[in-house]
Amino acid sequence: MKKRKVGSSDLYVSELGLGCMSLPAELNSARSVLDEAIENGINYFDTADLYDKGTNEELIGAVLKEKRNDLIIATKAGNKWTPGKDGWEWDPSKKHIMSAVKDSLRRLQLDTIDLYQLHGGTMDDNAEETIEAFEALKTEGVIREYGISSIRPNVIQRFLENSSAVSVMMQYSLLDRRPEEYFPMIKQCGASVVTRGTIAKGLLTDESMERVTKMGGFASYSHADLQRTVQSLSEITTDFHAAALAFNLRQPVVASALIGSRTSEQLQQTLDAYRTPVDPKLLDELEKVTVQHGYEEHRVES
Protein backbone atom coordinates (compact mmCIF):
# COMPACT_ATOMS: atom_id res chain seq x y z
CA MET A 1 0.00 0.00 0.00
CA LYS A 2 1.26 3.47 -0.88
CA LYS A 3 2.10 5.97 1.83
CA ARG A 4 1.83 9.76 1.93
CA LYS A 5 3.48 12.42 4.03
CA VAL A 6 1.34 14.22 6.60
CA GLY A 7 1.76 17.94 6.11
CA SER A 8 5.20 19.27 7.00
CA SER A 9 5.88 16.38 9.39
CA ASP A 10 8.02 13.29 9.03
CA LEU A 11 4.98 11.02 9.43
CA TYR A 12 4.20 8.79 6.46
CA VAL A 13 0.80 7.14 6.59
CA SER A 14 -0.88 4.52 4.44
CA GLU A 15 -3.37 5.88 1.88
CA LEU A 16 -6.05 3.95 3.73
CA GLY A 17 -6.17 4.44 7.48
CA LEU A 18 -8.29 2.42 9.87
CA GLY A 19 -10.83 4.49 11.78
CA CYS A 20 -11.11 2.41 14.92
CA MET A 21 -14.40 3.74 16.31
CA SER A 22 -16.31 0.93 14.59
CA LEU A 23 -14.10 -1.87 15.91
CA PRO A 24 -15.93 -4.57 17.87
CA ALA A 25 -15.54 -4.20 21.63
CA GLU A 26 -14.45 -7.83 22.10
CA LEU A 27 -10.65 -8.24 22.08
CA ASN A 28 -10.26 -11.21 19.73
CA SER A 29 -12.76 -9.81 17.22
CA ALA A 30 -10.94 -6.46 17.24
CA ARG A 31 -7.60 -8.27 16.91
CA SER A 32 -8.72 -10.03 13.71
CA VAL A 33 -9.54 -6.70 12.05
CA LEU A 34 -6.40 -4.95 13.26
CA ASP A 35 -4.12 -7.85 12.25
CA GLU A 36 -5.77 -8.02 8.83
CA ALA A 37 -5.19 -4.31 8.35
CA ILE A 38 -1.49 -4.56 9.19
CA GLU A 39 -1.01 -7.59 6.96
CA ASN A 40 -2.41 -5.57 4.06
CA GLY A 41 -0.13 -2.59 4.54
CA ILE A 42 -2.25 -0.26 6.67
CA ASN A 43 0.01 1.50 9.17
CA TYR A 44 -2.27 4.33 10.31
CA PHE A 45 -4.78 3.75 13.12
CA ASP A 46 -7.06 6.48 14.45
CA THR A 47 -8.99 6.42 17.72
CA ALA A 48 -10.12 8.86 20.45
CA ASP A 49 -10.42 8.89 24.21
CA LEU A 50 -14.14 9.50 23.69
CA TYR A 51 -14.82 6.16 21.98
CA ASP A 52 -16.40 3.72 24.43
CA LYS A 53 -15.09 5.87 27.29
CA GLY A 54 -11.51 4.86 26.52
CA THR A 55 -12.14 1.17 25.91
CA ASN A 56 -11.35 1.61 22.22
CA GLU A 57 -7.89 2.92 23.09
CA GLU A 58 -7.37 -0.03 25.44
CA LEU A 59 -8.18 -2.52 22.66
CA ILE A 60 -5.74 -0.87 20.29
CA GLY A 61 -3.07 -0.77 22.98
CA ALA A 62 -3.50 -4.45 23.78
CA VAL A 63 -3.29 -5.58 20.14
CA LEU A 64 -0.78 -3.19 18.64
CA LYS A 65 1.82 -2.87 21.41
CA GLU A 66 4.05 -5.57 19.90
CA LYS A 67 3.96 -3.95 16.44
CA ARG A 68 4.48 -0.39 17.67
CA ASN A 69 7.62 0.52 15.73
CA ASP A 70 6.02 0.17 12.31
CA LEU A 71 2.76 1.98 13.04
CA ILE A 72 1.35 5.50 13.21
CA ILE A 73 -1.17 5.72 16.04
CA ALA A 74 -3.43 8.74 16.35
CA THR A 75 -5.90 9.67 19.04
CA LYS A 76 -7.90 12.72 20.10
CA ALA A 77 -8.79 14.80 23.15
CA GLY A 78 -11.10 17.64 24.14
CA ASN A 79 -14.19 15.75 25.23
CA LYS A 80 -14.46 14.39 28.75
CA TRP A 81 -16.81 12.07 30.55
CA THR A 82 -18.03 13.21 33.95
CA PRO A 83 -19.00 10.46 36.42
CA GLY A 84 -22.70 10.53 37.21
CA LYS A 85 -23.61 12.57 34.13
CA ASP A 86 -25.02 11.49 30.79
CA GLY A 87 -22.92 12.24 27.75
CA TRP A 88 -19.71 14.23 27.69
CA GLU A 89 -18.56 17.81 28.04
CA TRP A 90 -16.35 19.88 25.77
CA ASP A 91 -13.13 20.95 27.49
CA PRO A 92 -10.23 22.19 25.30
CA SER A 93 -8.38 23.68 28.29
CA LYS A 94 -4.67 23.14 28.73
CA LYS A 95 -5.30 21.52 32.10
CA HIS A 96 -7.63 18.91 30.61
CA ILE A 97 -5.46 18.13 27.57
CA MET A 98 -2.32 17.72 29.69
CA SER A 99 -4.24 15.29 31.89
CA ALA A 100 -6.09 13.47 29.10
CA VAL A 101 -2.90 12.64 27.22
CA LYS A 102 -1.57 10.71 30.23
CA ASP A 103 -4.71 8.57 30.30
CA SER A 104 -4.50 7.93 26.56
CA LEU A 105 -0.83 6.94 26.82
CA ARG A 106 -1.67 4.47 29.56
CA ARG A 107 -4.59 2.92 27.69
CA LEU A 108 -2.67 2.75 24.41
CA GLN A 109 0.42 1.39 26.21
CA LEU A 110 2.59 4.00 24.50
CA ASP A 111 5.43 6.29 25.50
CA THR A 112 4.67 8.67 22.62
CA ILE A 113 1.55 9.39 20.56
CA ASP A 114 2.34 9.90 16.88
CA LEU A 115 -0.54 12.24 16.09
CA TYR A 116 -2.63 13.90 18.81
CA GLN A 117 -5.73 15.75 17.65
CA LEU A 118 -8.13 18.29 19.09
CA HIS A 119 -11.48 16.51 18.87
CA GLY A 120 -13.69 19.42 17.76
CA GLY A 121 -13.55 23.10 18.55
CA THR A 122 -15.60 26.31 18.59
CA MET A 123 -14.79 29.98 18.07
CA ASP A 124 -15.56 30.54 21.77
CA ASP A 125 -12.57 28.39 22.78
CA ASN A 126 -9.37 29.89 24.12
CA ALA A 127 -7.41 28.66 21.09
CA GLU A 128 -4.14 30.13 22.35
CA GLU A 129 -4.33 28.06 25.53
CA THR A 130 -5.27 24.90 23.60
CA ILE A 131 -2.38 25.30 21.15
CA GLU A 132 -0.03 26.00 24.05
CA ALA A 133 -0.93 22.59 25.47
CA PHE A 134 -0.19 20.76 22.22
CA GLU A 135 3.06 22.64 21.72
CA ALA A 136 4.17 21.80 25.25
CA LEU A 137 3.43 18.11 24.71
CA LYS A 138 5.39 18.15 21.47
CA THR A 139 8.36 19.88 23.11
CA GLU A 140 8.32 17.32 25.92
CA GLY A 141 8.29 14.46 23.39
CA VAL A 142 4.96 13.13 24.65
CA ILE A 143 3.52 13.53 21.14
CA ARG A 144 5.29 13.66 17.79
CA GLU A 145 2.79 15.86 15.93
CA TYR A 146 -0.67 17.30 16.42
CA GLY A 147 -3.72 18.32 14.42
CA ILE A 148 -7.44 19.01 14.62
CA SER A 149 -10.59 17.07 13.79
CA SER A 150 -13.29 19.52 12.73
CA ILE A 151 -15.69 20.51 9.97
CA ARG A 152 -15.74 24.19 11.00
CA PRO A 153 -13.56 26.16 8.56
CA ASN A 154 -13.21 29.19 10.83
CA VAL A 155 -12.04 27.01 13.72
CA ILE A 156 -9.67 25.09 11.45
CA GLN A 157 -8.08 28.20 9.95
CA ARG A 158 -7.53 29.88 13.33
CA PHE A 159 -5.95 26.69 14.67
CA LEU A 160 -3.66 26.15 11.69
CA GLU A 161 -2.51 29.75 11.36
CA ASN A 162 -1.49 29.96 15.00
CA SER A 163 0.14 26.58 15.47
CA SER A 164 2.41 23.96 13.94
CA ALA A 165 -0.48 21.54 13.39
CA VAL A 166 0.07 19.12 10.50
CA SER A 167 -3.36 17.55 9.95
CA VAL A 168 -7.06 18.25 9.65
CA MET A 169 -9.58 15.43 9.86
CA MET A 170 -12.69 16.33 7.87
CA GLN A 171 -15.80 14.65 6.50
CA TYR A 172 -15.15 14.50 2.77
CA SER A 173 -16.47 12.40 -0.08
CA LEU A 174 -17.89 12.52 -3.58
CA LEU A 175 -21.21 13.43 -1.93
CA ASP A 176 -19.80 15.97 0.52
CA ARG A 177 -17.38 18.22 -1.33
CA ARG A 178 -17.76 21.22 0.98
CA PRO A 179 -14.15 20.98 2.27
CA GLU A 180 -12.70 21.56 -1.22
CA GLU A 181 -13.13 25.31 -0.81
CA TYR A 182 -10.62 25.27 2.04
CA PHE A 183 -8.10 22.75 0.72
CA PRO A 184 -5.78 25.51 -0.58
CA MET A 185 -5.76 27.20 2.85
CA ILE A 186 -4.99 23.91 4.60
CA LYS A 187 -2.14 23.15 2.20
CA GLN A 188 -0.74 26.67 2.54
CA CYS A 189 -0.61 26.21 6.31
CA GLY A 190 1.55 23.11 5.86
CA ALA A 191 -1.12 20.60 6.83
CA SER A 192 -2.75 17.59 5.20
CA VAL A 193 -6.34 16.36 5.23
CA VAL A 194 -7.40 13.01 6.68
CA THR A 195 -10.84 12.16 5.35
CA ARG A 196 -13.61 10.50 7.30
CA GLY A 197 -17.02 9.58 5.91
CA THR A 198 -15.22 8.50 2.75
CA ILE A 199 -18.07 6.26 1.57
CA ALA A 200 -20.80 8.64 2.77
CA LYS A 201 -22.59 6.33 5.19
CA GLY A 202 -22.67 3.56 2.61
CA LEU A 203 -24.14 5.72 -0.14
CA LEU A 204 -20.96 5.15 -2.13
CA THR A 205 -21.05 1.35 -2.04
CA ASP A 206 -22.98 -1.42 -3.77
CA GLU A 207 -25.84 -0.68 -1.34
CA SER A 208 -26.22 2.90 -2.59
CA MET A 209 -29.75 2.66 -4.00
CA GLU A 210 -31.00 0.79 -0.96
CA ARG A 211 -29.45 3.24 1.46
CA VAL A 212 -30.62 6.39 -0.30
CA THR A 213 -34.29 5.43 0.12
CA LYS A 214 -33.81 5.38 3.90
CA MET A 215 -32.17 8.78 4.19
CA GLY A 216 -33.90 12.10 4.45
CA GLY A 217 -30.90 13.79 2.88
CA PHE A 218 -27.14 13.92 3.20
CA ALA A 219 -24.71 16.79 3.77
CA SER A 220 -26.20 19.66 1.71
CA TYR A 221 -28.37 17.42 -0.46
CA SER A 222 -32.12 17.28 0.09
CA HIS A 223 -33.68 13.82 -0.09
CA ALA A 224 -34.89 14.40 -3.66
CA ASP A 225 -31.55 15.82 -4.82
CA LEU A 226 -29.70 12.97 -3.16
CA GLN A 227 -31.84 10.36 -4.90
CA ARG A 228 -31.32 11.99 -8.28
CA THR A 229 -27.58 12.34 -7.75
CA VAL A 230 -27.04 8.76 -6.59
CA GLN A 231 -29.14 7.49 -9.48
CA SER A 232 -27.04 9.49 -11.93
CA LEU A 233 -23.82 8.24 -10.37
CA SER A 234 -25.02 4.64 -10.61
CA GLU A 235 -25.58 5.07 -14.33
CA ILE A 236 -21.90 6.01 -14.76
CA THR A 237 -20.19 3.40 -12.59
CA THR A 238 -20.97 0.00 -11.14
CA ASP A 239 -18.16 0.21 -8.59
CA PHE A 240 -19.03 3.03 -6.22
CA HIS A 241 -16.63 1.81 -3.57
CA ALA A 242 -13.51 1.94 -5.72
CA ALA A 243 -14.52 5.28 -7.21
CA ALA A 244 -15.18 6.79 -3.77
CA LEU A 245 -11.72 5.90 -2.49
CA ALA A 246 -9.98 7.00 -5.68
CA PHE A 247 -11.90 10.29 -5.68
CA ASN A 248 -10.64 11.26 -2.23
CA LEU A 249 -7.10 10.10 -2.84
CA ARG A 250 -6.70 12.04 -6.05
CA GLN A 251 -6.59 15.22 -3.95
CA PRO A 252 -2.89 15.97 -3.27
CA VAL A 253 -3.74 17.56 0.08
CA VAL A 254 -5.29 14.28 1.30
CA ALA A 255 -2.80 12.15 3.23
CA SER A 256 -5.13 9.27 4.09
CA ALA A 257 -8.74 8.19 3.69
CA LEU A 258 -10.08 6.63 6.87
CA ILE A 259 -12.18 3.50 6.60
CA GLY A 260 -14.13 1.73 9.31
CA SER A 261 -14.60 -2.04 9.54
CA ARG A 262 -16.28 -4.24 12.13
CA THR A 263 -15.12 -7.47 10.51
CA SER A 264 -12.21 -8.76 8.45
CA GLU A 265 -14.64 -9.38 5.59
CA GLN A 266 -15.71 -5.73 5.52
CA LEU A 267 -12.08 -4.68 5.58
CA GLN A 268 -11.22 -6.95 2.64
CA GLN A 269 -14.06 -5.45 0.60
CA THR A 270 -12.53 -2.02 1.08
CA LEU A 271 -9.03 -3.25 0.33
CA ASP A 272 -10.28 -4.85 -2.89
CA ALA A 273 -11.89 -1.54 -3.83
CA TYR A 274 -8.65 0.32 -3.11
CA ARG A 275 -6.72 -2.04 -5.38
CA THR A 276 -9.21 -1.67 -8.24
CA PRO A 277 -7.88 0.68 -10.94
CA VAL A 278 -10.15 3.66 -11.60
CA ASP A 279 -9.89 5.70 -14.80
CA PRO A 280 -9.30 9.41 -14.00
CA LYS A 281 -11.77 10.27 -16.76
CA LEU A 282 -14.44 8.32 -14.89
CA LEU A 283 -13.75 10.38 -11.78
CA ASP A 284 -14.17 13.55 -13.86
CA GLU A 285 -17.57 12.30 -15.04
CA LEU A 286 -18.67 11.44 -11.52
CA GLU A 287 -17.54 14.82 -10.23
CA LYS A 288 -19.67 16.61 -12.84
CA VAL A 289 -22.77 14.86 -11.54
CA THR A 290 -22.18 16.08 -7.98
CA VAL A 291 -22.25 19.59 -6.55
CA GLN A 292 -19.49 21.36 -4.65
CA HIS A 293 -21.65 22.84 -1.94
CA GLY A 294 -20.27 25.36 0.55
CA TYR A 295 -20.53 25.34 4.31
CA GLU A 296 -23.53 27.42 5.36
CA GLU A 297 -22.19 27.99 8.87
CA HIS A 298 -18.76 28.49 10.46
CA ARG A 299 -17.39 30.06 7.33
CA VAL A 300 -14.10 31.91 7.16
CA GLU A 301 -14.80 35.62 6.95
CA SER A 302 -13.18 37.22 3.93
From the number of C-beta atoms within 10 Å of its C-beta (0-12, 13-18, 19+), residue 282 rates as middle
Say what the pLDDT of residue 115 is: 98
Residue type, 273: A
Say what the pLDDT of residue 275 is: 97
Say what the pLDDT of residue 42 is: 97
Element (H, E) at 213: none
Backbone angles phi, psi at 17, to 5 degrees: -115, 150
Say what the pLDDT of residue 18 is: 97
40: helix, strand or coil: coil
Considering only the C-alpha atoms of the chain, give the largest distance between any 2 of them, rounded to a whole number of Å.
55
Residue type, 257: A
- Rounded distance, CA 134 to CA 165, Å? 9
Strand stretches in 186-253, DSSP E: 192-196, 217-218, 221-222
Backbone angles phi, psi at 45, to 5 degrees: -125, 125
Cα separation values, 65 from 61, 123, 259, 261, 297, Å: 6, 37, 21, 20, 41
Model pTM score: 0.95
Say what the pLDDT of residue 302 is: 61
Tell which residue, 188, 182, 164, has the closest CA to residue 292.
182
Query: What residue ranges of the chain have pLDDT lower than 70?
Result: 302
Q: Which amino acids are annotated catalytic?
A: 51
Pair 194, 166: CB distance under 8 Å: no
Q: In angstroms, how far is CA 255 from the centroid of its own chain?
A: 10
Contacts of 31 (CB under 8 A, 6+ apart): 63
pLDDT tens column, 55-105: 899 999 999 987 877 899 999 999 887 777 778 889 999 999 999 999 999
32: helix, strand or coil: helix
Pair 226, 217: CB distance under 8 Å: yes
| CA dihedral (40, 142, 116, 181) positive or negative | negative
